[in-house]
Amino acid sequence: MAAHWDDLRVFLAVAREESLSAAGRRLQVDPATVGRRVARLETAFESPLFVKSPTGYALTDAGQRLMGHALRVEQSLQEATEEMVGQSSGLSGQIRIGAPDGVANYLLPRVCGRIADDNPDLDIQIVALPRVVSLSRREADLVVAVSAPTAGRLTVQKITDYKLHLAAARWYLRNRPKITCVEDLKDHMVTGYIPDMIFDKELDYLSETGIDRVRLASNSASVQFNWVRSGAGIGVVHDFAIPWGRGVVKVLKDEISLTRSFYLIRHADDRRLERLNRFSEALCEGIRHEVAHLEGQT
């Protein structure tokens, strides 16, 4: 019995979402239909493709093998569609971007908003997660990351450098001991990442400052910034986020100044997709412009 593309499409959605209901929402069909399609594939291949775990649907060994074939079918259909339709004046369809939550909150909304304005037939989705988004499982079409991966069939493009500084709300500083050097920080409420949940070494900002205690910790950069701008404490903040926090100012800006980089990560097989090539170019240009604009305001 041969597998049909529509069943493979459902299989890919379950593999990516790890849930029948989430896959159904993605495909706009009910979960029962998703379950029947998966069961039909398992009957066709005479092997279970998923096992139900506490965290959702996990691929079996057979499912892992089918995943590679299904991705190649999906890729071929995308290439065929582009070749038959040709390059139009605007982008269309759906593109999903994975990004750390700091980028997703303070850079991508305006960047992607402008791209969407220029391309009325394009739908853009932003997956904001405080972890690495998997391209191999196609959780996203492309990823903005804070470090360049060294393994996998990926293409990596540096987008731009960005800066971070220690920052606090003015009213916090008015009511706390004066800060004239790094040693003074021991008398202050410091915000930062939960140490064992730092998913990329480039996010380990506080190790470069000499601060050894974080009293307000989160795995989310946005939560940390919200603490800072609400006057709850002091922490390392993206310069491009500071303009979004009324009354937030840099502290010890000459003593503590960090530079990091953003990279655009894509699956190597996608380099022939003109639609993604054009979107990637617009996205990188937009991020460079937005970082320069927002950092200039600080």
Q: What is the pLDDT of residues 204-216, one digit of tens each?
A: 888 877 777 899 9
Give, as one character, the DSSP assignment of residue 133: P
Q: In which band, very low, low, confident or very high, does the pLDDT at 263 lie, cut at 50, 70 and 90?
A: very high
More confident residue, 135 or 195: 195
Residue range 215-221: mean pLDDT, rounded: 93
C-beta contacts of 209-213 below 8 A and 24+ residues apart:
209/166, 209/182, 209/185, 209/236, 209/256, 210/182, 211/182, 211/185, 213/186
pLDDT exceeds 90 at position 238: yes
More confident residue, 262 or 12: 262
Question: Six-digit token pair at 48?
Answer: 């279970």
Model confidence pLDDT, tens digit, residues 156-181: 999 999 999 999 999 999 989 999 99
Q: In which band, very low, low, confident or very high, does the pLDDT at 116 lie, cut at 50, 70 and 90?
A: very high
Q: In which band, very low, low, confident or very high, does the pLDDT at 136 lie, cut at 50, 70 and 90?
A: low
More confident residue, 137 or 275: 275
Q: In which band, very low, low, confident or very high, does the pLDDT at 1 lie, cut at 50, 70 and 90?
A: very low
More confident residue, 256 or 130: 256
Q: How far is CA 12 from the centre of its chain?
A: 20
Q: In which band, very low, low, confident or very high, does the pLDDT at 81 lie, cut at 50, 70 and 90?
A: low
Outline where 134-246 has alpha helix (H): 170-174, 221-229
